Structures are given as structure tokens and as C-alpha cells.
A and B are shown apart, each in its own frame.
Chain A
Amino acid sequence: MADVYNWQLGRTIPYPYPEAHPQKQFAAVFNINRCIGCQTCTGACKATWTFSRGQEYMWWNNVESKPYGGYPQHWDIKILEMLDAAQQKTGKPAQWDTTQTDAKKPYGTYNGLTIFEANDPTQQALGYIPNDAEWRAPNFYEDTSTAYKGDNLGISTEGASLPEHQTWFFYLQRLCNHCTYPGCLAACPRKAVYKRPEDGIVLIDQSRCRGYKKCVEACPYKKSMFRGTTRTSEKCVACYPRVEGNDPLSEGVPMETRCMAVCPGKIRMNGLVDIAQDGSWVESPQHPLYHLVKVEKIALPLYPQLGTEPNIYYIPPRWAPRAYLHQMFGPGVDQALERYAAPSRETLAVLQLFRASQKMVFRYEIQEGPLVHEMQIKGKPWQMYNDTVIGFDSKGREIARLPVVEPIHERPKERLNSI
């Protein structure tokens, strides 16, 4: 066991292998607030990778309705319950110490047990294998909200209002987190799971896998899946041919994955961030992911307390109960929501870059525009400027140029009714 530094937890955790970080890390930001639950991402992934025999139940990308939905069913509640049972044995509560935060520990320090600490000593990590029935209904509880607390007729006299809706649900978009300290990689007794040094993508070597399902058991996000026809486990490959720039459309530059690129709600932004030798993100203020995750901190890791340092970041839904969001995204939730509700001039421009190109944006520039709107948000003045954001690919070529105010095109009178 080695001690490795997990910046999301602000402390070191035990891990079977010593720290060794990739040069770049595959990462993404998902804006939950914008998701319409259309499953286009899910279908795009399915149509690209998992349409074959033995993969029928596999959804490397899925969108589940929280709080009840889950694929496999109740995956998060189950692992949290197991974690909690181990925590209870210590006699101490799992807590975040947020009194001290800095660049090395932006969310403070988590003192609870991770899956690498709560495990039985006979195993590398805490986990379980969901059975086939649990994987069978990937969208069970779709659009199911929490109980309605209205009058007898089911009519609310007050309606719903922020900051927290009484009756709520939200969509959670999930794929492999290509974790910094993957549970799957830790658990494989034959080192068939590896993390690529060039982009941090986590893959299962299909020639070495013997179908032990230790990765299925140890991945807390349940994104390793067993294929009954080849008797090996498979997982999200982060569309690596696209990330490598080998897709015919990509012109040799890294391209977003299929699930990211098809998103009609424009909720996803996918990219590669530079990683320093100590595992921290290399300071690059004009990288959109760096801006959202590290500068503004409006995008947060999913269940950071599990300990694997996941690399998909979420802008939390504004209307969900804070306690639920704290459990899911850690203590950064309040600040993230505050900043998202009244975004800075720069953040508002960066948010326009979501889904502006299939190619990954490595750098942005902002051209300042005029003040177009002034208002009060939570009693504080807020201004909106029609700035223009320009995105550049890995070779520094412009791939996107968008104003903050979406241009309106009025159809001329003579074509009012034409298609």
C-alpha cells in the first residue's frame, strides 16, 4: 500500500500502487441544470460501442433520475451504506473540515473513510457485484420526483420556488469517471486494468482479462461491466480514437467523445487538462475546464468521499435540497450554486462554449462586448455583457466563436409559413 494524495479530499489515502500521474487527464464538466433527460448521449454510446451480443445490458453512458433512479439500481445508496457501516465501526462521524481550504485542498479535508480504507483487509477496496436484475432496468424511476406535499387536490397554492423545491428530481448523467485512483485498477489481481500515461483514460486489457469481475466489484460507480459472451469485463473507453484525434472528422486534433458531442441540451464539455507530476492540474486559467473546476469551482466531483478522485465534474442542480447535494458533490456545493446563479462575466462567456464544437477546446479568449442587461440577484447587482468567447483546438486553431447573447433571426414575412 502506498500513500497517494487526493486533492478532492485534501489528504493522502492508501492505494495499492504509488502515485504516478498521466501527462494529461481526460475530464469533463456536466451542467445538470441544462439536462433534459433525452438519453441522446446514452443512445450515441450504445450505437458506437455496446450493440453486440453479450452487451445488451451495458450502458457505458446512462442518465438516471435522482433521487430514486440508478443504473445499476441504487448503486450509490448501496456503496454509501457500506461505507457508512464501516464508518460507524470507527465510532467517529465522517466529516468535511472546511475551515482550511487552499489550492491543494479546495474543498477542505475529508476525514471519513474512503473505499480504500473501509475495506475488509482481504480486499483492495470496498465494493459489491450487482446482479443481473439490478442492471436490467436502466431508466427505472425515470422522472419520478419526491413525494408531493400539496393540498388534497394535488394543487400547490404556492408553486415551486428556489432555493429548494419541495418536490424535486434531477437527471444525473454518468459514465466512467476515468478516476485518478481507479477502484477497478486497484482491485484487478492481474493488472489487466491500466491508466494511459498520455491521457489518463482507464482501460481493461481484453487480452489479459480473465473475467474475475474484481473491477465490477470495486468500481464504486459501477462502470465496469461483465460480458457473458466473451467472459471478460468491459468498460467505457472514453472514445479513445476520437480523443487521440484519429477520427476522420477530427483533422488530427483531440475530439470530444460521442456522448459529449451529441448532447442536444449542450450540457457537456469534454477536454484534456495538463497534469503536473504531483497530480495537480497545471495552472491554465484560459482552459475552460480549468476555469470551471479550479478557478470558479462551480463544477464538482461526484461522490468525492468514495476516494477515487473522479474526473467528471458536475454543476449541481439549483433546485435540489442542499443536504442531498452535499452528500453527492461534497462541501463545495453552496459556493458552486451561488456562483452559477450569478456567474462572473468570464464564466458566463465560458459557459457558451459547451457543445460549440466537436473538437476539444484547449484555450479560450474573450472579446469584451457592451453591457446589455442589469438586474439584482439575491439582492446584489449583476450585469450581463455581450462578450464574445473564442475557443481554440490543441493546435491553436479557432474552432468556436460565440456571443453571450444568442442572436435572434426573424423569418421574413414572405416565408412565415415555409419550412
Chain B
Amino acid sequence: MAQLPFIAAIDAGIHQEMRRDPNVLYFGQNLATTENHEFVAEYGHDRVRVTPISETAEIGIAIGAAMAGLRPVVELYMAEFMLVAMDQVVNEAPRFRYMTGGQVKVPLVLKAGFGFAAGWAGQHTGSLTALFMGVPGLKVVVPSTAADAKGLMATAIRDDNPVVFMHHYLLTLEHGEVPDGEHLVPFGVAAVRRTGSDVTIVATGWMVNRALGAAATLAAEGIEVEVIDPRTVAPLDLDTILTSVAKTGRLVVVDQAPRHATVGGIIAADVAEFGFSSLKAPILQVNARDVTVPYSEPLEAYVIPDEARIVDAVRRVMQSGG
């Protein structure tokens, strides 16, 4: 085990797979600009390249390379930059296996940071995960710990499908224990970050830590919260969530996106449909307020869900219902 910052753990996952499989490529803007770049030095320019600011071509090239047998990882830096190339992400990469009747596979990873609520104002702070979650053919990964960042990246690279790897920018420098050597985290297996018997919270990315903070506060009041981190939202481990709700009878979903653009809302709908008989109270959602993320610090903090709003939602869900 080593203590690594989240961002280094992602790199460790990429290294692990590039050493193992010569078909893995790594490319994007602003990387591999000198021979000293750690990936260039180890793998060479056949496999590691800097690209111009051309997201459509970057992602499109990844698709073609993948169809021709390679496993590209595209460094996109910010999830918003995928919006420039939304056709390639949503209407090209995930369509080809299906439209060709299974003749091709498109194994690629789109590595994109999101949710940078640190004064980046309106265009670099979005929580866009739900945009990709419902696209058949895409897989969507949202790690919240350094260990998962490495293990989910490695699994994403080995997966034979296009994977959107959404890492939260505010976790970039968070340190965590990361297993040495080969480390893989399976897709579709949620992590129970804290066990509790009174209320289930489902959260992803940076919101997992906020939920855990809220749970600590609530424990002092005698409310035991179970915190579930799905880790991958496509595929989604609904079973672990339903099992938890069967135990607690109460669900709060926490999501950094505006209310009608959340993963949490989709999870809430699934639980309402498949776990209704377990529920003792209406499901509550804690989301960003329905605005573009503002620049000014107190306004930004007001818009993004914080521990106080999560605590408040849990208290309310405890008071409602039977």
C-alpha cells in the first residue's frame, strides 16, 4: 500500500495497463510534449501522443483505433470538453458494436475531470455524469477514492466497451491508500462506505465525502446513516442500494448536478419502482440549485450541496413517514 494522491493513482492504473498490454494508447492535449514525459519515455510516441485542441478528432481517432484493435485512453481534462465532441461520445462510440451486429468492439476510455467547484465559474464546473449514464453501449465510472481511481481505470482499459471515466476535480490532490501491484476494481459493484441502520445515502464523486461528513454529524445525534458509493453508474449496482433501503427504509440521494440532470434522480426512480414496499418515507434529493455554477465563492458554496443540506435532508426524512 502506498499513500498516493488521487491523480497519481489514476496514472498508476494507466501505467499498470500500458505495461501489460502494448495495444493501450494514451493521448490528448498538453501531454507528451517532451521526450522526458514519463509516458513517452516508457512507451514511446507510437503509443503516447500530444494532440491539437481537436476533441472531435481526438475522440473519433480513438474510436477508429479501437475498432482496429487498439485500446486508447483519451485525456480530456475536463468533462465539458467532451461536449465539443458530443456526437463522437454519444452517437458514435457506443453505437458501432450494436449497429454492426457485434462485428466490432470499441474499447476506449475517455478520462475527464468534472465538478471543479473552486472558482472556475460556469463552464468548467458541471456535473455531467447523468448525460452519459443512459446511453446504451457506454459505461460510466465515477471513482471517489484513490484506490478506486487506480482500480477502476485499469478495469476501464481492459473493458471492451467505451468507458467515460469521470474523476472529480476536487479529489485530485486527496491522498488515499492505493494497493501496490496489479489492482482492479470490478464495474457494477457499489461500495458501502459506512454502515448504518436508519437512513441510506447514495452519493458519487466528491459528494461521497460530504455524505460521510454529514453521517458523522448525524451519528452524534443518534442517527445511523449508511453511505453507498455506486462507483460505476453504468452499470449500476441497484441491488446493493435496494438491500440497504430494505434495511433502513429511508433514502436520501445526493448529487452535485441540478435536480433534473442527476444520477441521483434516476436512482431515486429505480428505488421508488423496485423498492417501494421497503420505504417508510418519501425519498429526498439533495442537489445543486438549478443555476449555472456562479464564480463568487459564497454564491458557489450556496449552490453546491454541502454537509448542512445533507444533514437537514436526513433529519427531514427521519421525521417523515411512519
Same assembly: no
Binding site for B on A (CB under 8 A): none
Binding site for A on B (CB under 8 A): none
